Amino acid sequence: MKAKSFIALTAINVLDAFVTGAYTLTVPLLLIKRGVSLSTIGLVFSAFPVAFLTFRMLFSSAADSVGFRKFFNVNALGNLASALLYAVSLSPPSYAAAKAVQGVKEASLWAVNRSAVYEAAGDRSPQMASSTILFIRALAITVGAAAAGLLISWMSFEQVFMLLAAISALIFIPASVSNTGRRKNLTLKELFGRLDPRGVGGETWRTALVMSLYTAASTLAVGFVLPIFLHERGLGYREVGMILAAYTGMGAFLIPVALKATPSINRVVCAQMLLYLPAAILVPLSGGRLMMIMVMIMGLGESVSYITWESLISREAAGRENTATMIGFLHAPSNLILIPSYVLAGVLVEKFGYVASFSASAILFLSYSVAAWRNLSRFNDRIPLP
């Protein structure tokens, strides 16, 4: 493994994930505080996947030729700009603009993140390397959500976003170190030629559609829904931040345990269903300690499903000539389905209550689990050791 490159990638992911974790709490709660309706919040959040998908594909196509450093610098700039925009925004359109910039910063990272990790892994398992980065990101998101909950308890939202802007600026340091990836001249013909979906096989598109089911499920139950749901149940900013942190953190510690055990994909899928499905249904029907326990169990189920997610990606993309572009195509349906999912989440909660949104999530998660199992079991996938 290329140690220097992997350390730089880790630093980039820690800082980016910390800011992302803070956003998961601060942005929806700020919009509620400003009196924005849930359906409008869904529209604001839908600006994210529009920007993400557009730039993700362009960045992925270019990254296979020009290397990764430029895109990590774009990520640093996007983190900084989105934090500043959130700090000064006062209306839904301006919040949507900030969400779009957040989409660009995420696109620049994920256009190259897995490809850079695969390259840094060398002869090690690419699936294990990417799962390690996901574990590290999960921990950083945990800390970011918890820190945000504490900060907005005694600082204004604007001050918190300014602090996040300062943290974002630190990403430029490791971004300047990471210089992996192939570097050669790239013509516009090559750039857009790689984006021709006709060159993607049917099996890859089927895998991508399976992945989109998970994205829709998570958006309807978590997305901006979970923090608002917890706050409306009477929990303060600090408590909501700690619960969101635990949601990510408990699952994060489960990932390396599962990888160490090298379970079959059958057991992984079975575990994610047994954990997520009953918990998602019971969360809006319960209260007090039972509600918080159900949220934690749902988080464990979602975290286990990350292993399934990475198995789908690595099977299709690892070892391909244009790895970044292929990963971009795999995520395209997921990014497209985010748009109606955000809108639908707001409408479902506003018109029918939280039970409808969480129940729809459970149904979609069941569909994802079954489809992923059928997709991967043909290859007798087992989580590989490093």
Convert the pLDDT of each residue in 30-76 to its tens digit: 999 999 999 999 999 999 999 998 888 788 777 666 778 888 999 99
pLDDT of residue 107: 92
Supply the pTM of this predicted model: 0.82
Does 183 map to a domain? no
Is the pLDDT at 125 greater than 90? The verdict is no
Q: What is the pLDDT of residue 361?
A: 96
pLDDT computed for residue 384 by the predictor: 43
% of the chain exceeding 70 in pLDDT:
82
Residue 257 CB burial class (10 angstroms; 0-12, 13-18, ≥19):
exposed
Domain presence at residue 222: yes
| Contact (Cβ atoms closer than 8 angstroms) between residue 251 and residue 137 | no
Distance CA 69, CA 77 (A): 13
Between CA 371 and CA 309 the distance in angstroms is 12
Sorted by sequence, the CB contacts under 8 Å of residue 257 that are 6+ apart come out as none
In a domain, 386, yes or no: no
Per residue, the 3-state secondary structure of the chain, as one string, reads: CCHHHHHHHHHHHHHHHHHHHHHHHHHHHHHHHCCCCHHHHHHHHHHHHHHHHHHHHHHHHHHHHHCCHHHHHHHHHHHHHHHHHHHHCCCHHHHHHHHHHHHHHHHHHHCCHHHHHHHHHCCCCHHHHHHHHHHHHHHHHHHHHHHHHHHHHHCCHHHHHHHHHHHHHCCHHHHHHCCCCCECCCCHHHHHHCCCHHHCCHHHHHHHHHHHHHHHHHHHHCCCHHHHHHHHCCCCHHHHHHHHHHHHHHHHHHHHHHHHHCCEHHHHHHHHHHHHHHHHHHHHHCCHHHHHHHHHHHHHHHHHHHHHHHHHHHHHHCCCCCHHHHHHHHHHHHHHHHHHHHHHHHHHHHHHCHHHHHHHHHHHHHHHHHHHHHHHHCCCCECCCC
pLDDT of residue 383: 45
Q: Give the pLDDT score at 193.
A: 55
Instruction: Please check whether residue 43 lies inside any domain of the structure.
Output: yes
Poorest-confidence range of 27-36, 111-120, 132-141?
111-120
Contact call for residues 132 and 310 (beta carbons, < 8 A):
no
- Stretch 360-386: mean pLDDT: 78
pLDDT of res. 177: 75
**What pLDDT is attached to residue 185?**
58
What is the per-residue pLDDT across 295-328, written as a single tens digit (0 to 9) for each?
999 998 998 888 888 788 877 766 566 666 777 7
Residue of higher predicted confidence among 266 and 188: 266
Q: Which two tokens stand for residue 247?
A: 């949601």
Q: Percent of the chain, pLDDT > 90?
A: 52
Mean pLDDT of the region 346-369: 95
Q: What is the pLDDT of residue 248?
A: 80
In a domain, 270, yes or no: yes
pLDDT reported for residue 381: 47
Is residue 384, in this structure, part of any structural domain at all?
A: no
Q: Is there a domain that residue 241 lies in?
A: yes
Question: Is pLDDT at 183 greater than 70 in this prediction?
Answer: no
If DSSP states are collapsed to H, E and C, what string results for 180-208? CCCECCCCHHHHHHCCCHHHCCHHHHHHH
Tokens encoding 377? 């079991």
Instruction: Please give the Cα distance from 116 to 8 (Å, whole number).
Output: 10
pLDDT at position 86, please?
96
Domain with 260, as residue range(s), is 3-177+189-377
- Confidence band for 200, pLDDT divided at 50, 70 and 90: low
* CATH at 84: 1.20.1250.20
Higher pLDDT, 67 or 98: 98
User: What does each C-alpha distance from 367 to 150, 220, 273, 362, 373 come to in angstroms?
Assistant: 37, 14, 10, 9, 10
Average confidence score pLDDT of the chain: 84
The count of domains in the chain is: 1
Looking at residue 46, its pLDDT comes to 93
Residue 386 has pLDDT above 90, yes or no: no
Residue 245 has pLDDT above 90, yes or no: no
pLDDT at residue 273 greater than cutoff 50: yes
In a domain, 383, yes or no: no
Residue 202 pLDDT greater than 80, yes or no: no
Q: Which residue has the tokens 């969400």?
A: 99
